[in-house]
Amino acid sequence: MATSRKSKGNSLKINLELQTLDEKQSWPEISAYLYHKSGRLLAKAAVKQEPRKSGMGSALFEGLESGNEKSLTVKIGPSMESAREFVRQKLSTHRLDDLPRLANIPTIILPHPVWICWIKVPYLVTGTVDKWADGKKYPVCVGEVDIYDVDVYCLLKIPDIVIERIRDGIIDLVLDPPPFDIRQPEELPQWCDIDDDDWCGTPPRPRPPFIEDLQARLAKLPPAWSFATQRVAAMDTARLRLDQNLAAMQASEKQLWLNSPISGDVQLSKILYTNTQQFRHLLVEQFQTFRFWLCWYPWIHWLWWPWCRFYGLEKLGTAQLQSDGSFSTLVPLSICRKDQPDLWFKVRQSIEGVDRVIYARYPVLCHTYWNHPSGKPVSLLTHDAQTVVCNPNDDTDKPGIYVMPLGIGDDGWYQIEQAHLKPADIPNADRGLYNATDPYGTRLDVRMQFHDSLTSKGVAHYRWSVAPEGTSSWSYLNAPITHRYLTQIGSNFFIVPEELGPFAVGGEPSLFKVPDPAKDWIALNRNDRAFALWHTALWDADLNRYVPQVADGRYVLRLEMFDAAGNRLDPTAPGADWTFFLPTSDAVGGIWPVDDNPHVQPDGSVHFNLWVDNTDTTADIQSVGLGGSPTGECQFIEYNDGTTDQVRVTYVAYHKLPPERDFLASYSLSIKRGISGTTVESDSSTTPAHTPTNLDAGVDHLLRQIGSNGPYTRCAFAVELHANPRTRNGFSRIRQYESHDTSAFALMKKPVPCPPTRVLSSSVEPVVEARLVKERTE
């Protein structure tokens, strides 16, 4: 029951009774809100349960100004922090002077249907946030995750004609699937980035005018989507083609097709044989199922998206990111809620006093976790280059204090053939090659991991050097290395750079510091993960190519460790309390399987083998002609008989010529026809073409009908030859070492010669002349 009023120091007490609340039910988290009649919020007070009184509670407002109780209104409802939440909640409203008084305290009595929905049940939101960089995921360990519930009422307001147009688009996709698989893409495309910069990434706003010129928007798409304009026209005939397909089927085949699921558990018949309203509700109820259809294909996406730029977002809560990139929080939901939340996320980082959004995928509806069960983890992936990620060390499966060389970039030493040889190993011809096939080139990042207790054992510095195999001509890798760590001042995080080297210590040049394990080292890019850099080739902007800095061939990399005074250390020396570890495979569950007994050289160092090759590939189309006869620069090839005549393309494609080892990954040759660029003939191989190689294609085969185009008697063609190298940089193969060549020709039917002119004989000439004279005189 309720409270007293403005007596003791302008305070007001309100009693509250929740009818039928029994001792087994928990008291809901509710508050009382005191308003002036003008609508101004004067005060808020929590309604606390009275001890030993089931269903009874009270709220106490203090520090109130004197005034007329007739001007005050009390509202009871769930506890809320923001005034925006008031409009979403059903509050029980009462004029203060109308309330009954028990013991002179205003009392509010609420029946069960009014307060029952204020009881909350916990809903667990959990997941991880990672950054995608250099082809890998890295946990985002600093930041906050804002959690929103999405309302899709906009789908109910789309005009019927648009709903039916969406149905046409889906039918067309069923009949003629596009030329790629969309079932499990890494991420959906953000089509709004192309022409909606004023809308993407902004809060909901009123809908702009409907986009009528869909073809104009599709024309702006990347070349890979050039077929999209044809799909718009195909929607006009989708239902006619569907009827033709069904008419050509047997009854049993037709029934099987109609009952087959086209996406999730939605059967094809549900799409074909529903009226407009039924299909609309199917889209709403199964949006998660239709998401790829509606969001992946731009010609369908732009049908409905202009009508769905207005939507509801309710913030459910915020979760803190943990050191491993995980987050979790309990969100209170009304016990009366019938559906599962539809979750959308925004991730923020506050670094150096600047709050940045590092993850927020738009359009919202295409990146919502629909009907998401409590406790089911979500995986959020950001591509934001400035996102700060932590660089934690994985554990090892063997005990010990270690220095662990990891490899080159993302390639582990265990992936490089005989990278580390022990005395009993017999060297083979593939040593130093990734997977025994790929050499290395350009910038190479040497990665390492150090045990947290390493510096306490007197190990303070390291040094990498390199020498051609079989020599002792060691060169130090002395490119500067700077890493960054995160420090917290107050509630703000700041990024601090620290130079690891090179330094001269105790007469030893090119030494680098072992990072302080007490600091929170971060990784914004590959520089933060490299402990040494070897520039085997440098990019020349004027030449537009890499210029090798070392000769091609095998090299040995040497790792040495030093103490704080610059004295070289040997882990096999008596009293040494550390060792070298080498991973033997990828980390599994955050644990490296390691070899804790690698071969240590007499000077205390460890050696690794690496094959370097910075040679470009070669791709050269030498000639194109008919029947092996090359033509000139402007290649108009005239053929006689399309059924027998052949076009011959002569080419070479390789990495290096014998006797040197060739590291060509593959080459591909294609002949493309006309303005559409349709491939009419192609060939590919992983075997180098060191000597001139031929591709023969029949003329009629090149001019044949493909789809709705052709056949032709003449046309223009392009010949494309592309060579791919095996050379890699520790992250991927080096595309700058690819080679490409292009040629062109035109095919045309050889003209049929005109019949020879008939010459009159001498015996006829007098007769003709006499006839002409007669005609002139007449």
Highest mean pLDDT among 36-40, 200-204, 515-519: 515-519
**CA of 588: how far to CAs of 396, 411, 539, 593, in Å?**
10, 16, 37, 8
Task: Choose the weakest-confidence range: 178-192, 292-306, 476-490, 702-716.
Answer: 178-192
**Percent of the chain at pLDDT above 70?**
89
Number of residues written out for the chain? 778
Amino acid at 575: G
**Percent of the chain at pLDDT above 90?**
45
Task: Choose the weakest-confidence range: 132-146, 368-382, 496-510.
Answer: 132-146
Other residues' Cβ atoms within 10 Å of the Cβ of residue 700: 16
- Interatomic CA distance for residues 433 and 416, integer angstroms: 5
- Residues 225-232: contacts with CB under 8 Å, at least 24 apart: 225/298, 227/178, 227/179, 228/297, 228/298, 228/299, 231/169, 231/172, 231/178, 231/297, 231/299, 232/299
8 Å CB contact between 728 and 738: no
SS3 for 402-438, per residue? EEEEEEECCEEHHHECCCCCCCCCCCCCCCCCECCCE
8 Å CB contact between 592 and 583: yes
Residue 391 β-bridge partners: none
Q: Which pLDDT tens digit goes with each residue over 103-114?
A: 888 888 889 888
* Average of per-residue pLDDT across 61-86: 76
User: Is residue 317 within a helix (H) or strand (E), and if so which, with residue range?
Assistant: strand 312-320
Amino acid at 32: A
Our CA angle for 200, 206, 207, nearest 5°, is 75
64-79 core/surface letters (b: 16 or more CB in 10 A; e: else): beeeeeeebbbbbbbb
Give the strand pairing for 618-626 and 629-630: antiparallel
Q: Which pLDDT tens digit goes with each residue over 477-504?
A: 999 999 999 888 877 788 899 999 999 9
| pLDDT for residue 508 is more than 90 | yes
More confident residue, 307 or 615: 615
Our CA angle for 283, 284, 289, nearest 5°, is 55
521 — phi, psi (to 5°)?
Answer: -70, 140
Other residues' Cβ atoms within 10 Å of the Cβ of residue 60: 16
- Under the banding of pLDDT at 50, 70 and 90, the label for residue 82 is low
| pLDDT for residue 188 is more than 70 | no
- Interatomic CA distance for residues 360 and 357, integer angstroms: 7
Other residues' Cβ atoms within 10 Å of the Cβ of residue 193: 11
Q: Which pLDDT tens digit goes with each residue over 130-140?
A: 988 767 788 89
- Interatomic CA distance for residues 438 and 778, integer angstroms: 97
| pLDDT for residue 455 is more than 70 | yes
- Interatomic CA distance for residues 741 and 244, integer angstroms: 45
CA atoms within 13 A on the CB side of 741: 20
Q: Which of 276, 54, 63 minimizes the C-alpha distance to 161? A: 276
E-strand spans in 627-767? Answer: 629-630, 636-639, 646-654, 664-673, 678-685, 689-698, 715-725, 739-749
Task: Choose the weakest-confidence range: 73-82, 538-547, 646-655.
Answer: 73-82
Highest mean pLDDT among 15-19, 336-340, 628-632: 15-19
Sign of CA dihedral 702, 707, 713, 715: negative
Cβ-Cβ contacts under 8 Å for 739 (sequence gap 6 or more): 616, 617, 618, 619, 653, 722, 723
249 secondary structure, DSSP code: S
**pLDDT number for residue 304:** 83
- Interatomic CA distance for residues 665 and 403, integer angstroms: 35
Token couple for 496: 């601090």
Q: Which of 311, 374, 357 minimizes the C-alpha distance to 150? A: 311
Model pTM? Answer: 0.68
| pLDDT for residue 286 is more than 90 | no
Token couple for 420: 């580390």
Secondary structure (DSSP) of 491-520: TEEEEEEEEEE-EEETTEEEEEEPPPTTSE
| pLDDT for residue 207 is more than 60 | no
**pLDDT number for residue 129:** 94
| pLDDT for residue 6 is more than 70 | no
- Under the banding of pLDDT at 50, 70 and 90, the label for residue 610 is very high
8 Å CB contact between 373 and 576: no
Give the mean pLDDT of the chain.
85
Q: Is 127 left (phi over 0), alpha (psi -120 to 50) or beta?
A: left
Cβ-Cβ contacts under 8 Å for 173 (sequence gap 6 or more): 293, 297, 300
* Average of per-residue pLDDT across 545-569: 96
Give the strand pairing for 582-583 and 520-522: unpaired
More confident residue, 433 or 268: 433
| pLDDT for residue 152 is more than 90 | no
| pLDDT for residue 770 is more than 80 | no
**CA of 443: how far to CAs of 144, 391, 410, in Å?**
36, 21, 13
**pLDDT number for residue 211:** 44
- Interatomic CA distance for residues 378 and 129, integer angstroms: 9
* Average of per-residue pLDDT across 669-693: 93
Q: Is 582 left (phi over 0), alpha (psi -120 to 50) or beta?
A: beta
8 Å CB contact between 123 and 375: no
* Average of per-residue pLDDT across 282-293: 82
* Average of per-residue pLDDT across 341-366: 87
* Average of per-residue pLDDT across 668-678: 90
- Interatomic CA distance for residues 778 and 770, integer angstroms: 12
Amino acid at 163: I
| pLDDT for residue 359 is more than 50 | yes
More confident residue, 109 or 756: 109
Q: Where do we find the tokens 């090119």?
A: 510
* Average of per-residue pLDDT across 445-465: 95
Q: Which pLDDT tens digit goes with each residue over 222-277?
A: 777 777 878 888 888 889 988 888 888 898 888 898 888 877 778 888 888 899 99
8 Å CB contact between 106 and 3: yes
